[in-house]
C-alpha cells in the first residue's frame, strides 16, 4: 500500500474529526457557560438591581455602586482586604524565597523539608483556623504562655481591635509559605549550574550572585508567586469567619465577608453583587498592573 506523504498538521480536517472534536468539548463548554460565564454576567446584572429574593429584581442603575463608594463599612472592608493582602504577600514571598534558597543548597533532606513546609496547604483553613484559635486564645492559649516566659503580659490577639488583623496576617504568612516555597524550588532548578560556578570562581559576593545570577532567572517565578498570592489573598474569607467572624467590631471584616453578609444575612443580593464585582475588577486590575510592571522590569534588563 502506498502511503500518502500527507503531514499530520495539514490544513484539511476530516468531517469525522471536526464532528467528534466538537462532541468531546461539548460537556466542558456547556458546564462553563452554565456555571461560570452565565453567573458572571448575572452578577453584573444583579449589581444593577435591588433584590431581596422576595420580589423580582428591580433595576436601579448604578445606585449600588454609588452607595458602595459612600459606605464607610464597605470602604473599610476593602481597606482591610488590601492591608491583609499586602501584609501577607510581601513578607511571605521574601521569606519563602529565602527558605527555597536554603533548601536548594541543603542537598540532603530537601524532600523532607519541602513536605513539612507544604503541610499547611494540605489542611483546610477551617482545620488550621481552629488550631490557631486555641494557640492565640487570650485566656489559656500557649502563645501567651510563651510570651509570659519572656515577661510579656497577656495579649488579646484576635479579641483585640488593633491586634486582630496583624494576628490574621501572621497566620496567613504561616500558611502561604508552603505554596510559595514549592513553586520557588521548581523555579530555582532553572538556574544553570555553570553560571553559579563562574560567579563563585570570580569570588563574587553572595549578594552579587543573588542579584545578578539568581534573581534574573527566577523573576518570572517570583511574579507568578506574587500574582497568584495576590489573587488568592484578596479573596480572604474562610480564615476570617473561623478566627474572628470579622470582628472585633469591623476590624477584620474583609470584602468577601462583607459581600457574604450583605447577601445572606441582610439579603441585599444586588448590593452584595456590586461589592463582589468591584472586588473582581480590583483583582483583575491589580493582576494586570503587576504583570505589566514585571514586563517592564524584564524589558529594562
Partner 1 sequence: MNVDYSSPVMRLTRRGLLYLALIGMSAIILAPFYIVLVLALSRSAEVFAWPPVWWPAVPQWQNFLEVFEVTAFGRAMWNTFVVASISTIGIVIIDGLAGYAFAKMRFPGRTTMFMLILATLMVPVHVTIIPLFIMFRSFPLAGGNDIFGSGGFGILNTYPSLILPFLATAYGTYLMREFMKMLPDNLVEAARMDGAHEFAIFWKIYLPLARPALAVIAMFNFTAVWNEFLVPLVMTSTADMRVIQTALADFADQETVRWTLLMAAVLISLIPLVLMFIVGQKHLIRGVALSGTKG
- Tell which positions 41-70 bind partner 1, by CB under 8 A: 42-43, 46, 53
152 binds partner 1 (CB under 8 A): no
Rank residues 55 and 162 by Cβ distance to partner 1 and give the closer one: 55
Query: 112 exposed, middle or buried (CB, 10 Å; 0-12, 13-18, 19+)?
Result: exposed
From the CB of 300, what's the least distance to partner 1, in Å? 27
Angle of CA points 234, 238, 244, to nearest 5°? 100
Q: Does 300 bind partner 1 (CB under 8 A)?
A: no
Q: Is 289 in the site for partner 1 (CB under 8 A)?
A: no
Residue 94 touching partner 1 (CB under 8 A): no
- Restricted to residues 169-228, the positions that interact with partner 1 (CB under 8 A) are 174, 177-178, 193, 196-197, 200-201
28 near partner 1, rule: CB under 8 A: yes
Question: Looking at beta carbons only, is 177 or 251 nearer to partner 1?
Answer: 177
Stretch that binds partner 1, among 2-10, 65-73, 74-82, 291-299 (CB under 8 A): 2-10
Which C-beta is closer to partner 1: that of 15 or that of 61? 15
Among 128, 158, 165, 225, binds partner 1 (CB under 8 A): 128
Amino acid at each position: 500500500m502506498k502511503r500518502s506523504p500527507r503531514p499530520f498538521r495539514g490544513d484539511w480536517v476530516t468531517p469525522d474529526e471536526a464532528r467528534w472534536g466538537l462532541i468531546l468539548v461539548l460537556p466542558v463548554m456547556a458546564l462553563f457557560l452554565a456555571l461560570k460565564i452565565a453567573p458572571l454576567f448575572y452578577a453584573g446584572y444583579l449589581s444593577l438591581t435591588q433584590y431581596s429574593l422576595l420580589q423580582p429584581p428591580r433595576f436601579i442603575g448604578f445606585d449600588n455602586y454609588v452607595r458602595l463608594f459612600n459606605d464607610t463599612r464597605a470602604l473599610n472592608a476593602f481597606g482591610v482586604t488590601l492591608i491583609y493582602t499586602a501584609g501577607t504577600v510581601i513578607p511571605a514571598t521574601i521569606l519563602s524565597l529565602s527558605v527555597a534558597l536554603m533548601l536548594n543548597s541543603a542537598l540532603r533532606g530537601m524532600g523532607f523539608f519541602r513536605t513539612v513546609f507544604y503541610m499547611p496547604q494540605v489542611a483546610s483553613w477551617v482545620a488550621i483556623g481552629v488550631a490557631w484559635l486555641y494557640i492565640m486564645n487570650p485566656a489559656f492559649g500557649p502563645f501567651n504562655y510563651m510570651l509570659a516566659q519572656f515577661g510579656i503580659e497577656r495579649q488579646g490577639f484576635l479579641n483585640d481591635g488593633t491586634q486582630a488583623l496583624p494576628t490574621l496576617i501572621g497566620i496567613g504568612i504561616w500558611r502561604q509559605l508552603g505554596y510559595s516555597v514549592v513553586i520557588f524550588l521548581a523555579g530555582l532548578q532553572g538556574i544553570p549550574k555553570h553560571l553559579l560556578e563562574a560567579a563563585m570562581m570570580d569570588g563574587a559576593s553572595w549578594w552579587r550572585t543573588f542579584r545578578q545570577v539568581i534573581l534574573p532567572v527566577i523573576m518570572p517565578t517570583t511574579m507568578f508567586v506574587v500574582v497568584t498570592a495576590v489573587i488568592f489573598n484578596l479573596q480572604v474569607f474562610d480564615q476570617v469567619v473561623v478566627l474572628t467572624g470579622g470582628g472585633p467590631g469591623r476590624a477584620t471584616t474583609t470584602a468577601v465577608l462583607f459581600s457574604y453578609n450583605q447577601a445572606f444575612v441582610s439579603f441585599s443580593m444586588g448590593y452584595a453583587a456590586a461589592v463582589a464585582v468591584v472586588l473582581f475588577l480590583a483583582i483583575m486590575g491589580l493582576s494586570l498592573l503587576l504583570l505589566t510592571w514585571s514586563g517592564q522590569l524584564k524589558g529594562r534588563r
